[in-house]
Amino acid sequence: MIGGLFCYNHKGEVLISRVFRDDIGRNAVDAFRVNIIHARQQVRSPVTNIARTSFFHIKRSNLWLAAVTKQNVNATMVFEFLLKVVEVMQNYFGKISEENVKNNFVLIYELLDEIVDFGYPQNTDTGVLKTFITQQGVKSVTKEEQAAITSQVTGQIGWRREGIKYRRNELFLDVMEYVNLLMSPQGQVLSAHVAGKILMKSYLSGMPECKFGINDKIAMDSKGKPAEESKTKSAIAIDDCQFHQCVKLSKFESEHAISFIPPDGENELMRYRTTKDISLPFRVIPLVREVGRAKLEVKVVVKSNFKPSLLAQKIEIRIPTPLNTSGVQLICMKGKAKYKASENAIVWKIKRMGGMKESQISAEIELLATDTKKKWTRPPISMNFEVPFAPSGFKVRYLKVFEPKLNYSDHDVIKWVRYIGRSGLYETRC
């Protein structure tokens, strides 16, 4: 039960303030500003307790979005809700910025009224919301349309309306994965996990029922196939996953089958996390040598570790420099490298890189003597990239579409599957 929702700009001025429950007073607005936005020390915890009131906040560009409650609520629910609010707003007016929020504040209040009732989150599906909250001004709705909206919002399948028709029935699946890694200087993996999600764009007519198969170990084993086969087919162990509300969970529980009636348009079907058998696309090997007190030699080697036929893109390696750096000389074989003083780091960018290759950069960092005895903490080297495969080994095995009422079958649907692997927090200590 959220008591209220506030939106501030970077100065702490209130842009949006909506109170759902009486236990939240006006002073809560100020308490958040004083204790969090204007705090002397940056507040790092997303949850803050002030005077028995809990504040949950997220920051998007220069805006603060805070949910307030006096009750003992499920914090993850609140954050999920906040993220949904952001998503809905993005879907309505694009980028979240002070300007946009100010220009659309009537719309935002209207949306808030719809997606929260007395502090309880309601339907946050943009597709559905767009059917009755529009930006085009008031449209007179006929009785039938009104009835349709009511039945849809209150009905069993709230995420899809009836009577959708497409000439070409198409279905797009994007498997998007974020690899997170922390590696020791010696190359030992300290922690690694993949956070993945499956984005689906469906342009299907009628009320189709879909069935979706993945190479999850449990799902494969339960199919009764011999264990060996599943191994050769390299099933993966999914630590946990969650689905869009359209997936019939009862069926997943009993048969490990993912079956659903898809919402129209773009949606996130599934989220999952794996920690085992991750194929790390890149390996960073740092070499740091201190030459006296005034000089530091850094050499970093990057090795790509995937099929030579594939091509990684948008590679960026960020090597932190000491705070008393007075000059940097760089030599790199591939790509472009630059010392960015404003960020205290060397940024090395490589546009493309094939599999099983390696590249190297060497830097000479000159240091200035300072009077502080504090030693440089040596932050880790971080990396960004994009690869065209799923580092967890996740595979889509099949996707079947049944539409009993209309006359198209599974074969007529055009299906697309794409795998993207991106870096999350991909760090190597040096």
Partner 1 sequence: MPAVRGDGMRGLAVFISDIRNCKSKEAEIKRINKELANIRSKFKGDKTLDGYQKKKYVCKLLFIFLLGHDIDFGQIEAVNLLSSNKYTEKQIGYLFISVLISGNSELIQLIVQSIKNDLASRNPVHVSLALQCIANIGSKDMAEAFGQEIPKLLVSGDTLDVVKQSAALCLLRLFRTDPSVIPSGEWTSRIVHLLNDQHMGVVTAAASLIDALVKKNPEEYKGCISLAVSRLSRIVTSSYTDFQDYTYYFVPAPWLSVKLLRLLQNYPPPEDPGVRGRLSECLETILNKAQEPPKSKKIQHSNAKNAVLFEAISLIIHNDSEPNLLVRACNQLGQFLSHRETNLRYLALESMCILATSEFSHEAVKKHQETVINALKTERDVSVRQRAVDLLYAMCDKSNAEEIVLEMLAYLETADYSIREEMVLKVAILAEKYATDYKWYVDVILNLIRLAGDYVSEEVWYRVIQIVINRDDVQGYAAKTVFEALQAQACHENMVKVGGYILGEFGNLIAGDARSSPAVQLQLLHSKFHLCSSMTRALLLSTYVKFVNLFPEIKSHVEEIFVADSNLRSADAELQQRASEYLALSKLTSLDVLATVLEEMPPFPEKESSGLLNLLKKKRPGRVIENPDRLDEHVKKEPRETNGTSGLTLASNTEQEGGSADLLGLGVPSAGNGNGPTTNGAGAVTNNIQKFYCKNNGVLYENDIIQIGVKTECRSNLARLALFYGNKTNHPFMNFQPNVSASPALSLAILLQVKQVDSTVEAGAQFQQMVNVECVNDFDEQPDLNLVYNYNGAPQTVNIKLPISINKFIEPTEMNGEAFFSRWKNLSLPAQESQKIFKAAHPMEATDSTKAKLIGYGFQLLENIDPNPDNYVCAGIIHTRSLQIGCLLRLEPNKQAQMYRLTTRSSVEAVSQHITSVLCETLNLPFNNQVE
Tell whether residue 99 is a contact of partner 1 (CB under 8 A): no
How many residues line the site for partner 1 (CB under 8 A)? 17
User: 75-93 and 105-115 are packed helices; what angle lies between their axes, rounded to 10 degrees?
Assistant: 140
**What's the sign of the alpha-carbon dihedral 27, 29, 35, 39?**
negative
One of 141, 190, 237, 368 touching partner 1 (CB under 8 A): 368
* Closest separation in Å from C-beta 318 to partner 1: 14
The nearer residue to partner 1, 340 or 378, going by C-beta atoms, is 340
**Residue that the structure tokens 């590696």 belong to:** 183
d(C-alpha 348, C-alpha 338), whole Å: 6
Helix (H) or strand (E) holding 177: strand 170-183
* Closest separation in Å from C-beta 344 to partner 1: 6
The nearer residue to partner 1, 174 or 366, going by C-beta atoms, is 366
Tell whether residue 100 is a contact of partner 1 (CB under 8 A): no
Residues 215, 314 contacting (CB under 8 angstroms): no
* Closest separation in Å from C-beta 31 to partner 1: 21
Report the SS3 class of residue 45: coil
Residues 162, 149 contacting (CB under 8 angstroms): no
* Closest separation in Å from C-beta 426 to partner 1: 22
The DSSP output letter for 42 is P
Tokens representing 131 are 């059917």
One of 215, 324, 360, 362 touching partner 1 (CB under 8 A): 324
Tell whether residue 329 is a contact of partner 1 (CB under 8 A): no
* Closest separation in Å from C-beta 59 to partner 1: 11
d(C-alpha 56, C-alpha 81), whole Å: 11
* Closest separation in Å from C-beta 56 to partner 1: 22
d(C-alpha 234, C-alpha 195), whole Å: 19
d(C-alpha 283, C-alpha 391), whole Å: 13
Tell whether residue 366 is a contact of partner 1 (CB under 8 A): yes
Cα-based distances in Å from 361 to 313, 327, 430:
18, 16, 14
Instruction: Mark the segment that binds partner 1 (CB under 8 A) among 108-116, 220-228, 234-242, 369-377.
Output: 369-377
Instruction: Mark the segment that binds partner 1 (CB under 8 A) among 14-22, 339-347, 375-383, 398-406.
Output: 339-347
* Closest separation in Å from C-beta 62 to partner 1: 6
**Residue that the structure tokens 């989220």 belong to:** 271
Tokens representing 409 are 């079958």
Tokens representing 329 are 């000389």
The nearer residue to partner 1, 172 or 376, going by C-beta atoms, is 376
> What's at 217, amino acid-wise?
K
Site for partner 1 in 58-77 (CB under 8 A): 62
Tell whether residue 41 is a contact of partner 1 (CB under 8 A): no
Site string for partner 1, 258-297 (x = CB under 8 A): ------------------------------------x---
Tell whether residue 372 is a contact of partner 1 (CB under 8 A): yes
Tell whether residue 44 is a contact of partner 1 (CB under 8 A): no
Q: What is the number of other CB atoms lying within 10 angstroms of the CB of residue 260? A: 24
The DSSP output letter for 84 is H
The nearer residue to partner 1, 64 or 394, going by C-beta atoms, is 64
d(C-alpha 430, C-alpha 285), whole Å: 8
Tokens representing 165 are 């028709």
d(C-alpha 214, C-alpha 275), whole Å: 17
d(C-alpha 29, C-alpha 42), whole Å: 18
Tell whether residue 341 is a contact of partner 1 (CB under 8 A): yes
One of 326, 333, 416, 417 touching partner 1 (CB under 8 A): 326
One of 104, 267, 325, 392 touching partner 1 (CB under 8 A): 325
The nearer residue to partner 1, 136 or 342, going by C-beta atoms, is 342
The nearer residue to partner 1, 245 or 370, going by C-beta atoms, is 370
Instruction: Mark the segment that binds partner 1 (CB under 8 A) among 66-74, 312-320, 364-372, 380-388.
Output: 364-372
Positions in the binding site for partner 1 (CB under 8 A): 10, 62, 294, 324-327, 341-344, 366, 368-372
